[in-house]
Every structure is written in structure tokens, then in C-alpha cells.
Structure 1
Amino acid sequence: MADELRALAAVASEALLFGGVEEIPGIHRVPADAGLRRTLGGTLTSLNVRMAASWLQHCQDGQLASKATSDSWTKWAASESKPEQHNRKAMTDDDVIAFIRQRTASQPGVSRTRLLRQLRDEGQACEQSRFANLYIRTMGER
């Protein structure tokens, strides 16, 4: 996308990029900040979209990339950004499957997302896609 972004910068009077890996002259880049995930909610995968929505709330003078807006955002983000540290215990596939079976038996209809949140809230670790695969495999066995 770098070529497309450079082309945009050549014609746009005001352009913003949330995330990205490099600065592009002519585009105001707002680096991704994982420390805002808890404040903005959701997953890291969609954090840049929520950052963009929050940026609009900090728009001070009707100008998306003005110094006033940037300053407002920077001040807010600095006060809200809290690096997350997870000291969760790794689980084997068998442990995750046992967790899924136990919880779905005691909470019929509970969503996969809610189960993963419960597992993590209890200090256990399991990557989202791995949990999804184990959930599908487990629930397909029933």
C-alpha cells in the first residue's frame, strides 16, 4: 500500500494514517498504541479503527490533521495509554478442551468469545485462533 499512500499524499490536502510501519511525507501518521486497547476496547486487530473514531472526538477546530487536534489526541493518549502485561499460564490443548467442555456444560449457549474471555480472566493463556480451532473441534465432537 505504500505506493497508494504516496499517491494519496500527493493530492490530498489533509490525510491521516492510523498504524502503518513508516512515515509518509504529506500524511499525518498516528502510530498504533496497544496501550490504548483497554480504554478503547476490543481486540488489537481492530485497534486502529477505534483509534480513528477516538481521534474524531478530539478534533478541535474542524481540521483532522491540525496541530490543535494532534495536541489534544497526544495529551489524551498519553494519559490513557497503559501497557498491558499478561502473566497468564500456558495451557495444553487437552487443558483448553477440558475447559471448553466444562464451561459449555455449565453455561449452555455461552459464546466462544465469552469463553475465551473467562479463560483469560482466570489467568490462563490461549491465543485467539488456537482457541477458536479447539472450540470448533470440541463442539463438533458433541
Structure 2
Amino acid sequence: MASSSLEASRWWEHLQQLDGATDLSQIATAAGRALIVVSETYAHAMRNDLHRLAVTGADTVLIGGAGDVEGILRVPANAALRHALGGTLTSLNTRTAASWLEHCTPGRLISPQGQARWSDWAAQAARPERYARTPVSDETVIAFIKEMKSLHPDSSRTRLLRLFRDKGMACEQKRFADLYTSTIGRR
């Protein structure tokens, strides 16, 4: 996954240069529809292609993305649906897309009935997440990692972060990963 818009743009340009590559508008025109599942960063990189796709007239749903595109139905990422969809925020767009397809009218990507089913479900399923975690120092995080690895040597970094957060302490995922790596190494 690209960590910046510049990296994402380079990735998208590289894909477009591959032999036999087909752009989104050609795919959508041939299929008559397109389901695009993309993060905000990648949506920025694909902006021009999304606009070309929008004018094809193909039924197009954009899950996630960076903003509305005229001619494309957008279903933005909604963290309040994570409880119902499960998983992490990182994979929320993918699980949103799967749920969208479950609510569609069979054989149709977009229909008023399918959109109504989705909207009704999303309104009922939404539960805003609120965390009251306490920010802590790097030293506290490192001490926790060392203690947990000594007690549970086979625990993954992801599992330790979950345990850390379950104790009411705050630590961003990348920060935790960096501290874990500097403490334990890349195992």
C-alpha cells in the first residue's frame, strides 16, 4: 500500500503503462458497470480515470474514495459501520463493498431498491466508535511490549496492540509497529 499520494500516483501510472493494460472507462464500457473499491490516497491518484469513467454512462459505484464524482454513485467509508462489518479500519472499504453487493438487486449494481436497502441497513447498523484511551509515552509502550513478549512469546504484534488498547492505552498502529520492531526486531 502506498503511504503518500505521490507513491500512489506512481503506482497508478505504472499500472497504466503495463502491456495490455486497459483503463477503467474501457472496462466499464465493456461490462456496462464497475465497482471501484479504493482508499482516499489511491482515489486521488486515479482522479482523472474516475472522471473519464463517470462519463461512460456505465453503472458505477465507488466504495471509499476521496470525494464525490459526478456520474458515479459513491458510498463513502463509514467507520460507524465497522461494528456491523467487522475487521479493521484498513479493510473497511473491502467489507463495505461486499455488504453493498449483498444489498443490491440481483443482477444490478445500482437500483433504487438496492440503494434504499443499503441506506436503511446502514442507518440501523451504524454505531459511532468512541475511544477513551489514555496517551502514553514510548517508554510505557516498550515496557508493555517486553512484558507481554516475555509472558506470551508467540503473540503477534497485532495481538499485542489489541491487548494494549484493551487496557485503555492509546498508541497509533504505525508508532506501535516501529516501537515493536526497535524492541523485538522483525520476527
TM score, norm. by length of structure 2 = 0.72
Q: Which runs of structure 1 show a deviation greater than 6 angstroms over 4 or more consecutive aligned residues? A: none
Equivalent residue for 2:135, pick from 82, 90, 114: 90
Gaps of 5+ in 1: none
Query: In 2, distance between residues paired with 1:137 and 1:23?
Result: 41
Stretches of structure 2 lacking an aligned partner (at least 5 in a row)? 1-45
- Give how far 1:12 is off: 4.3
- Are 1:120 and 2:172 counterparts? no
1:1-142 correspondence to structure 2 within 5 Å = 1-140=46-185
Give the distance between the partners of 1:42 and 1:110, measured in 2 at CA: 19
TM-score, scaled to structure 1: 0.93
Count of residues paired in the alignment: 140
CA deviation after TM superposition for structure 1 residue 61, in Å: 3.6
Taking only the aligned residue pairs, the percentage that are identical comes to 51
Residue type of the partner of 2:55?
A: A
Matches of 1:10 and 1:75, distance apart in 2: 29
Q: CA deviation at 1:25?
A: 1.8
CA RMSD of aligned residues (A): 1.2
